[in-house]
Amino acid sequence: MNISLADIREKLDRISDVWFHFVWDYRFLRTEVNFNEETSTTFFGDILTYFGDTFELLSMSNNSKTYQENTFFFTGLMQIIYVQQDLVEELMYAFKLDRGKQMANDPDRSINRNLRNELIGHPIRRSKEESNSLVSSVIFGNQLSNEKIHYVLYARENEFKGQEVEHKLTEIIERHITFLNRYFDFILEKIKIILDRFNKKILELQKVIKNESVSFESKVELVGQLFESIFKENYLYKKEILIEINKRYNEHHRYKFAMEMFLSELEDLMIGKMESANELLVPKKKVLNINEFVPPNINIVFSSDPAPKMKTKSETMVMS
């Protein structure tokens, strides 16, 4: 598997940066996602916090020494995977992505989800549609170990004959990381679309700002629609104050200075925001940790031939 947990975390960090540093700040981008009473609360932060609290658990080695410890480990692991799957659905919702059918049929999701439901969520399963009759029951198997889940399934469809089921720990984790990577990529694809639109709007805004035939009032109104974060940068940058400064532009140099400062800072912020957007669309380069450095393999071959004799300075002078 080429995707690591660090890669997944980096993608989630980029998604987070877009939400908190772009969606929150710009009305235009809020219309591109599901930014409503639900998602504008602690919703997004809660998702990120939960992921942050549980990511490292996915990379933990199972050092359990007893049957009971292995039971505890796998119960916790499968529940974490189950909840993270639900959180991915919430992220998809936040970015106006509906892949419900695809997600339901995704084996990297469904195998782990069914395993959790069968073994941990509903170890005794009954059918509400059939007078609460027994559908299946499970018990952990005696081959449960550090490296694999083992349980016995007694299901009606198999006449309640014991069926042994095994899942390797490495395969469970690999499926989940593949699942996370796939749907984080879907979200990043959507982010690329909306940030590209945002950058185009900023370029259009730059042209309007430089167009002398457009009234200053119209420019300020457009800034409020597309780049309203500028109004938070300085107490002077309020619509009514800016319009008043523009009217009195020729009365005193301080008005001219304030206007030029606003336009200069607006231009710098727009350029900076477009650069930030472009950076978020590209995965961050991994910095090699010194502990990850692998020295080159150098083979030293010793020759049996005697080393050539070095000429002395006097010999060299005589030969010349």
Q: One digit per residue, pLDDT tens: the chain, 320 residues? A: 578 888 999 999 999 999 999 999 999 999 999 998 888 888 889 999 999 899 888 888 889 989 999 999 999 999 999 999 999 999 999 999 988 888 889 999 999 999 999 999 999 999 888 888 999 999 999 999 999 999 999 999 999 999 999 999 999 999 999 999 999 999 999 999 999 999 999 999 999 999 989 999 999 999 999 998 898 888 888 889 999 988 998 888 898 898 899 999 999 999 999 999 998 887 765 544 444 444 445 444 444 555 445 444 444 444 43
Question: Which sign, positive or negative, has the C-alpha torsion 78, 120, 88, 53?
Answer: negative
- Do residues 150 and 140 make contact, with C-beta atoms less than 8 angstroms apart? yes
State pLDDT tens for residues 219-278: 999 999 999 889 888 888 888 999 998 899 888 889 889 889 999 999 999 999 999 999
Please list, in sequence order, all residues whose beta carbon lies within 8 angstroms of the beta carbon of residue 72, skipping any fewer than 6 positions away.
Answer: 64
Burial letters 289-314, b for 16+ CB under 10 A, else e: eeeeeeeeeeeeeeeeeeeeeeeeee
Give the residue among 232, 187, 189, 16 at the shortest CA–CA distance from 88.
187
- pLDDT for 57 equals 86
Instruction: Say what the pLDDT of residue 280 is.
Output: 86
pLDDT of residue 22: 94
| Angle in degrees, CA 239, 241, 247, rounded to 5 | 105
Confidence at residue 310, expressed as pLDDT on a 0 to 100 scale: 47
Task: List the strands of the sheet with 162-168, edge to edge.
Answer: 124-127, 133-140, 148-155, 162-168
What pLDDT sits at residue 75?
A: 95
Residue 306: the pLDDT is: 52
pLDDT at 318: 41
pLDDT of residue 284: 64
Give the model's pLDDT for residue 134: 94
Q: Where are the domains of the chain?
A: 5-185, 211-280
Distance (Å, whole) CA 4 – CA 161: 39
The string of pLDDT tens digits covering residues 49-82 is 999 899 888 888 889 989 999 999 999 999 999 9
Tell me which residue has tokens 């559908």: 135
Tell the residue number behind the tokens 């950058």, with chain if given.
199
pLDDT score, position 285: 57
